[in-house]
């Protein structure tokens, strides 16, 4: 009665999927979300590997890959293969690969390939990773004090959306630490803060993100003095946890280390 099943997919990237990927990059979404919904619905017990590199890594480590379904197979064919896998009465919890303390309790929501790359970047001295708890934004949050900020958040997410809750929690975390919101990139878009609307042009230093969209930019953007806040598995009601990814030279957890940021007080 497994509670965690890993499935590796080999996807032919046709024009439609390429368009989905480009659209997701532009909006900060997950290009494989439609594929996952089609295969798993709302089930949380299935974890998918979409990239060839991840599957090849598993094979190199000795994992035996059992083809369950190929285009043209019937559902009955796939079920026959699945039920043909012999059960191991001595089976127990599998060893967790590519793990560090910061991933404790979160690893099921972090694809293994992502975990491996984050650990590699940390071992190379490019980044440091810490787990942080995120506060919910209060109802009277100053983050939404201006019509432009309310519009920027409400046009992207419904009021009851877990992503809206995650966005406000991430911004609250940064604001409580004194971050300059002029320098924040929220899920792929800059904020219409009073400073930016007044013409202040500065590069993003803080990034609030989820679903690991564009995560391969981390070793490029983080060592420049900023931080990447990855919100893990946003939900409507459960406590929100994030991974704070900073430059390896940052002295301890906390996003506020940049001299450029300290020169501009928080809003």
Question: Per-residue pLDDT averaged across 147-175, rounded?
Answer: 88
Q: What angle do helix axes 147-154 and 162-176 make, rounded to 10 degrees?
A: 140
Length, in residues, of the chain: 267
Nearest Cα to 56, choosing from 97, 17, 13, 10? 10
Q: Are 250 and 177 in contact (CB under 8 A)?
A: no
Dist. CA 149–CA 192, nearest whole Å:
6
> Could you tell me which residues come within 8 angstroms of residue 126 by beta carbon, excluding any fewer than 6 positions away?
219, 222, 223, 247, 248
Q: Does 262 have pLDDT greater than 60? A: no
pLDDT digits (tens, 9 = 90+) for 176-201: 888 888 899 999 888 888 888 888 88
**Dist CA 155 CA 141 (whole Å):** 18
Q: What is the pLDDT of residues 64-113, one digit of tens each?
A: 888 888 889 999 999 999 899 888 888 777 677 789 999 999 988 898 88
């Amino acid at each position: 009665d497994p509670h965690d099943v890993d499935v590796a997919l080999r996807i032919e990237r046709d024009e439609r999927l390429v368009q989905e990927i480009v659209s997701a990059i532009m909006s900060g979404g997950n290009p494989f979300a439609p594929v996952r919904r089609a295969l798993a619905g709302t089930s949380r017990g299935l974890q998918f590997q979409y990239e060839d590199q991840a599957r090849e890594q598993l094979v190199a480590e000795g994992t035996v890959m059992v083809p369950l379904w190929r285009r043209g197979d019937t559902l009955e064919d796939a079920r026959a293969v699945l039920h043909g896998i012999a059960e191991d009465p001595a089976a127990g919890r599998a060893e967790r690969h590519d793990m560090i303390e910061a991933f404790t309790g979160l690893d099921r929501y972090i694809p293994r390939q992502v975990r491996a790359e984050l650990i590699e970047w940390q071992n190379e001295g490019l980044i440091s990773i810490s787990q942080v708890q995120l506060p919910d934004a209060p109802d009277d949050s100053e983050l939404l004090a201006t019509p432009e900020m309310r519009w920027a958040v409400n046009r992207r997410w419904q009021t009851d959306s877990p992503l809206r809750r995650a966005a406000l929690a991430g911004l609250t975390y940064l604001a409580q630490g004194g971050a300059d919101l002029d320098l924040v990139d929220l899920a792929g878009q800059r904020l219409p803060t009073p400073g930016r609307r007044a013409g202040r042009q500065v590069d993003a230093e803080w990034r609030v993100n989820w679903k690991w969209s564009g995560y391969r930019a981390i070793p490029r953007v983080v060592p420049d003095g900023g931080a990447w806040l990855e919100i893990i598995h946003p939900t409507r009601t459960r406590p929100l946890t994030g991974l704070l990814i900073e430059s390896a030279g940052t002295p301890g957890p906390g996003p506020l280390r940049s001299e450029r940021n300290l020169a501009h007080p928080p809003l």
